[in-house]
A and B are shown apart, each in its own frame.
Chain A
Amino acid sequence: MTKLIVLIVIVIGVLALAQLVRLYELSSKLRNRREEDIPNRENRLNATLLLVFMFAFFASFIYLMLEYGWTGRGDAASAHGVETDSLLNLNFIIISAVFFLTNGLLFGFAYKYVRKPGVKAYYFPHDNRLELLWTVVPAIVLAVIIILGLKSWNEQTSDANKDAVRIELFSKQFDWTVRMAGEDNALGYFDYKLTNENNPLALLTTKTIQDAIDSMEMGSTGIKAMEKKLNNGRLMMIPEDRQKMITTLGRKERLVRLLYQMKARHNKGLDARAMDDVVFNANDTLFLCEGQEYEFNFRAKDVIHSAFFPHFRAQMNTVPGMTTRFKFTPTITTNDMRKKMNNNKFNYILMCNKICGSSHYKMKLMVVVLDKPSYKAWYAKVSKLNPAAPDACKTFKNIYAVGKPKKVEAPAAEGQPADSTAVAAN
C-alpha cells in the first residue's frame, strides 16, 4: 500500500513538473526569452550560491575534521604507527592547505568574475611564468612528500630483527589461527598437501607426511575405498556421481604421488623446527608483549584475505601459495589503551580487509597486548613442553602426539575482554 502511494506521489510530482515547465515555456515565449540566454539575475544568483556553497563546504570540512578526525582508532599503538600518524598529519596539513586554496580560488573567482553588463573578459591565453610556477611549486612539495614517505616505507618494510618473535597468522574463510615459533624462534615448514583435521596448519614433519598419505589412502573416502567402489561391478551408481568419483580419485592419486615424493626427500632434521611451535585453535586471541618486535608471517588457505590491524597501522594481504610478512612492535598495552580512550571495553583487533566471501565482515581476531611480566606468565602457561602438563600445553608436539587437537582454553579465550583484563592484572 505504501509502495503504491509513493508511486502515485512520484507520478503526480512528475506530472506537476511537466505542467510547471510548460507554464515556464509559455511565459518565456511571451517575454521572447530564449533558453540559452541566461538573465543576469539568475547568473548572479548562481554565482552567489557557488560562494555560499564554498563556505558551507569549508565549514562542514572543519566540523567533520574536529568531530571525527582519527576518532575510533586513537593513538597509534605501534612504534612505526606513531611515525605514520605524524606523517599523515603533515600530509593532511599540506593537502588541506591545497584544498582550501584551490577551492577558495575556484569559487571565489566564479563569484567575483560573473558576467557583468559592459565588461568584456580579459584575453589571457598563456603566461609562461605562471605555468612554470604551478609546475615547479607542486613538484617541490611532492618531492618533500615522496622523500619523507619513502623513508618511512623503507623502515616499515625492511626485514625484522633477528630477535623479533616470529608469529604465523593463518587465514581461512572466516577465521584466523595463530602459530608462534617455539624456543628456536623459527616457524616450522609447511605444505598445504599435509592439511587434515589433526594438522590444520599443514606443518611438515616425518609423521605428518605419513599421516597425510594414510588419510589420503585409507578411510571411507580414501583412494583404496574409492577404487574398490568403482571396481565393484555389482554396485549401481548414478553416472554423474560415478564421474565425480573418478575425477576425485584421479586428483587424490596425483596428490598422493606428490606426498610420496615429499616423503622420500624429507629431511628428518627439520621436524624439530615444527615440533616446538605453539599452535592455537582457530579464533584464539592473539597475545602480544609490549615493546617486543614481532615478525608476522601470513598464510591463506583458500582465498586472499588481508590482515588489518587498524590500531597498529599495519596491514598485509594473505595470499594462497605464498607467505607475506609484516613487522611491528606494539607499544601500548590493552589496559593503557583503555585508559587513553576512556573506554574500559576497548580491545585491539585484527580484521579481514580483503573481500573473502559472504561472511567477510565477521572475520576477526581479538588482539591483547600485555606488559612484560603478565606476558611472561601467560607464555609460560601455554608453551610448556611437558606432555603430561595440563590442558594449557599447546606446542605442536603435544597436540600432535595425542592425535586430535584438544580444545584448549587460553587465559583469555576468544574475544572475552573481561578475561584479558584478568590476565593483564596478574
Chain B
Amino acid sequence: MAAHEAHAHHDAHGHEHHEEGFISKYIFTQDHKMIGKQFLMTAIFMGLVAMMLSILFRIQLAWPGEESDFLSFFLGETWAPGGVMKESMYLGLVTIHGTIMVFFLLTGGLSGTFSNILIPLQIGARDMASGFLNMLSFWLFVLSALIMLCSLFIETGPASSGWTVYPPLSALPDAIEGSGLGMTMWLVSMAIFIASSLIGSLNYIVTVMNLRTKGMKMTRLPLTIWAFLVTAILGVLSFPVLLSAALLLLMDRLAGTSFYLSDIIVGSEMLENHGGSPILYQHLFWFLGHPEVYIVLLPALGLSSEIISTNSRKPIFGYRAMIGSILAIGFLSFIVWGHHMFVTGMNPFIGSVFVFTTLLIAIPSAVKVFNCLTTIWRGANVYTPAMLFSVGLVSTFITGGVTGIILADSALDIAVHDTYFVVAHFHIVMGMSAVFGMFAGVYHWFPKMYGKMLNTRLGYAHFWVTLVGAYGVFFPMHFVGLAGAPRRYYDYSVYGDFNQDSLDMMMDLNEIITVFAIIAAFGQIIFLFNFFYSIARGPKAVQNPWRSNTLEWTTPVEHIHGNWPGAIPEVHRWPYDYSKPGAEEDFIPQIVPLMEGEEEH
C-alpha cells in the first residue's frame, strides 16, 4: 500500500520497485545513501593508508637511522635498504600522506559522505538532483584515489615535493626523483579529483536550493545543511583555480612552457625558461588551499553543532548567528590565502592586508565556539560517542585556532613559518577537529546509514584513546617548532652541528610524539572492528535512536529508494526544538505542526 503511494508521489523514480541487481545496487548505484556509504568506505580506506604512511615516517623521525624490521617490511629493500628509510622516500611519504589526508579523507570523506547522506534526508528530498552525476562524482573520486595509490609503487617513487607541490621542485625531475612520473600521476589524479569534487558540489548546491520539502525554509534548515551548502559553494569557486594551477604545472613539465619557471639551472643543465614565476603557482594553489581548510572544517562544525544540540537536549544557541558565521567564514576564507606566503618576498603592504583579513576570521570562529559552549551550558548532556567526539572537536578547534592567531600575524610568522609549529597548528585544526567531526558523524548517523547500532563502549574506548593519543602527538609538536625545527626534514642531525642541547630536546619530544602516534593508530583498530562488526552483526537500530528532530529520523530504518514510503513530510518548525517549555517530550520533530498559540523560534 505504502509503496503504491510512493509511486504516485514520485514519478521520476518510477523504476524504484524493481528488484535491483547487485551491480546497480552496490556498485554503479545512483542512490544517494549508497553513494554516501561508498564515499565513507573509500575514505576510511584512504585514511588508513595515509595513517600508515605517517607511522612510517614518524618512526624515522623518532629513531633516525636505526634499523627497523617494520620499515623494511613495508618499504622493502628499494625504499628502506637495511631497514633504514631512504631520504627520497621520506619526502614521498610526507607528500602522499598530506595529499591523501587533505583531499581523499577530509574532502572526499567528510563532505562526500555526509553531504550525500544527509542533504536529501534532512531537507526532505527523494534523492540528489542528479543521481547520475552523483554516481559519476564517486567513480571519478575512486579513479583519482587509485591513481594516487598507484603512484606509491612506481620505480621513481611518488611525488615528493610536499603536498603543496611547489614548482620549480615539482616541475623538474632533475631536482628530485619524485618529480618524474610520480608527479605526473599526482597531477592527473588531482585533476580527476577536482572534476569529481566539482560535479559533487554542483549537485549539492542544486539539491539544497531546489529540492527542499514544503515548509523547509532556508531558516529552518539544520546547520549541517548550511555547512554543506557553503562548503559546496567554496568548492565550486576555488577548486577550478587549483585545476588551472595543476594544468599550468603539467604544461610546464610536458610542453616546455614557462608559467612557473624562470632563469633556472638544474644540475648542470641551463634551462631556457624565462619570465615565469614560481610565486604565481603559490597564489593559485593557496587560492584553493585556504578555502580548502574550511571545505574540510565547515562540514565538521555543522555535524558537531547538530550532534551537540541533540545530545545536550537544547536548541543550538544563536542559530542565526551560527548561519551568519558560516557565511562570514566562507566569504573571508577567499581573501586570506596570502598568509601562507608572508615570507615569499611579497609586497609588505599586501602582506598587511592579508594579516587583517586573516585575523578577522577569528571573530566568526569565536562566535561558533562560544555558541557551542552556551549550548552545552545548562543542557542535559548525554555522552554518546558522537557527543564525546563533538566536545573533543570544540576543544581542538579552540586549541588549534588560537595558534592560528600567531601564524596569521605576519611579524611573528617570520619566526615560526614552515616549522613544526605550523605542522602542529594545522594538524590540530584539520587532523583533529575535522577527523573528530567525521567520527562524530559516523557514530551519530551510523543507525541511519546501516540500520544497525555501533557498540557504545567500544566507541568510548575509541574516543579516549584517540583524544589522548592525538593531543599527545600534536601538542608537544608546538614546542619542537618553537625551538626552530623546520618541517620536512629527514632528520635533525644538523642541530648537532650548532646546538646539541636543542637536538637532545627535540629528539626527546619526537620520541614521545611517535609513541603517542602509534598508540593513536592502534586505537583506530577499535573503531574499524566496531564499524565492520556492527555493519554485519550489530543490534538493529530503531527509527529515531537519539530522539532527534530532523527529518532523516522520520524515514524507515530499511533503506528504500526515494527515502519516504509515503508523501514527503511537510516541515513546520526549525530543527532545534529541544526541551521546549510546555512540550511533553524533550524534543519536537520538525514535522509536528505548531501547537495552538505556540511561537515558532
A contact set with B: CB distance below 8 Å = 2-3, 10, 13-14, 17-18, 21, 24-25, 28, 34-36, 38, 42-43, 46-47, 49-50, 53, 57, 60-61, 64, 68-73, 81, 84, 87-88, 91-92, 94-95, 98-99, 102-103, 105-107, 109-110, 113-116, 119-127, 130-131, 134-135, 138-139, 142, 145-146, 149-150, 152-154, 156-158, 173, 191-193, 195, 251, 254-255, 298, 301-304, 306, 308, 310-311, 313-317, 319-322, 324-325, 341, 343, 345-349, 351-362, 364, 366, 415, 417
Contacts and interface: CB of A to CB of B under 8 A. Distances in A.
Contacts of A145: 359, 405, 409
Contacts of B410: 149-150, 153
Contacts of A358: 86-88, 91, 160, 176-177, 490
Contacts of A149: 355, 409-412
B564 interface: no
B87 A319 contact: no
The CB with the most chain A CB atoms within 10 A, among B355, B395, B455, is that of B395
B529 A18 contact: yes
The CB with the most chain A CB atoms within 10 A, among B415, B490, B493, is that of B415
Contacts of B586: 120-121
Contacts of B546: 36
B166 A304 contact: yes
B427 interface: no
Nearest to A56: B468
Contact of A98 (B86, B402, B490, B541): B402
A349 B497 contact: yes
Contact of B499 (A134, A314, A347, A352): A347
The 6 closest A-B pairs by CB, nearest first: A321-B262, A72-B502, A324-B345, A72-B483, A310-B484, A157-B348
The CB with the most chain A CB atoms within 10 A, among B318, B372, B482, is that of B482
Given A38-B456, A146-B355, A360-B488, A306 B505 contact: no
Interface stretch (B38-46, B75-83, B373-381): B373-381
B297 to A, nearest CB: 17
A72 to B, nearest CB: 3
Contacts of B530: 21
Contact of B454 (A35, A115, A415): A35
A150 B350 CA distance: 11
Interface stretch (B11-19, B131-139, B200-208, B271-279): B271-279
A353 B262 contact: no
A193 B265 CA distance: 9
Given A99-B398, A134-B367, A109 B318 contact: no
B370 interface: yes
Given A57-B471, A91-B405, A130-B374, A316 B343 contact: yes
B539 to A, nearest CB: 6
Interface in B154-187: 160-162, 166, 168-169, 172, 175-177
B497 A415 contact: yes
Nearest to A314: B414
Contacts of B409: 87, 91, 145-146, 149, 153
Contacts of B398: 98-99, 102-103, 106
The CB with the most chain B CB atoms within 10 A, among A126, A130, A255, A303, is that of A303
Contacts of B395: 103, 106-107
Contacts of B88: 358
B343 A315 contact: yes
B460 interface: yes
A84 B327 CA distance: 34
B525 interface: yes
Interface string B273-315: 0111111000000000000000000000000000000001111
A109 B497 contact: no
A102 B373 contact: yes
Nearest to A2: B69
Interface in B464-500: 464, 467-468, 471, 475-476, 478-479, 482-484, 486, 488-495, 497-500
23 contacts: A18-B529, A34-B542, A73-B484, A106-B394, A106-B398, A113-B312, A121-B586, A123-B580, A125-B601, A126-B319, A126-B320, A134-B370, A146-B359, A150-B352, A153-B351, A153-B409, A251-B270, A254-B272, A306-B418, A317-B343, A320-B262, A356-B175, A417-B498
Contacts of B317: 124-127
Contacts of B177: 358
Interface stretch (B226-234, B382-390, B555-563): B382-390
B188 to A, nearest CB: 22
A209 B500 CA distance: 46
A21 B533 contact: yes
B236 interface: no
Contacts of A139: 363
Contacts of A127: 317-318
Given A38-B383, A126-B319, A146 B491 contact: no
Nearest to A310: B484
Given A46-B460, A320-B168, A358-B88, A122 B378 contact: yes
A303 B279 CA distance: 12
Nearest to B447: A36
Contacts of B576: 125
Contacts of B314: 121-124
A79 B495 CA distance: 24
Contacts of A64: 475-476, 478-479
Given A84-B414, A106-B395, A145-B409, A36 B542 contact: yes
The CB with the most chain A CB atoms within 10 A, among B381, B494, B539, is that of B381
B376 A47 contact: no
Contact of A351 (B160, B263, B494): B494
Nearest to B170: A303
B524 interface: no
Given A119-B380, A120-B579, A131 B264 contact: no
Given A120-B380, A157-B348, A347-B499, 17 more contacts: A35-B456, A42-B456, A47-B383, A49-B464, A72-B483, A73-B482, A88-B415, A98-B398, A110-B391, A113-B376, A121-B378, A126-B320, A302-B265, A306-B343, A361-B488, A364-B497, A366-B498
Contacts of B406: 88, 91-92, 95
B466 to A, nearest CB: 12
Given A88-B412, A154-B352, A321 B497 contact: no
B406 to A, nearest CB: 5
A95 B403 contact: yes
Contacts of B369: 102
The CB with the most chain A CB atoms within 10 A, among B266, B372, B464, is that of B266
Contacts of A95: 402-403, 405-406
Nearest to B165: A355
B177 to A, nearest CB: 8
Given A116-B380, A357-B169, A193 B270 contact: yes
A363 to B, nearest CB: 8
A24 B169 contact: no
A156 to B, nearest CB: 6
Interface in B233-281: 261-267, 270, 272, 274-279
Contact of B278 (A2, A47, A131, A321): A321
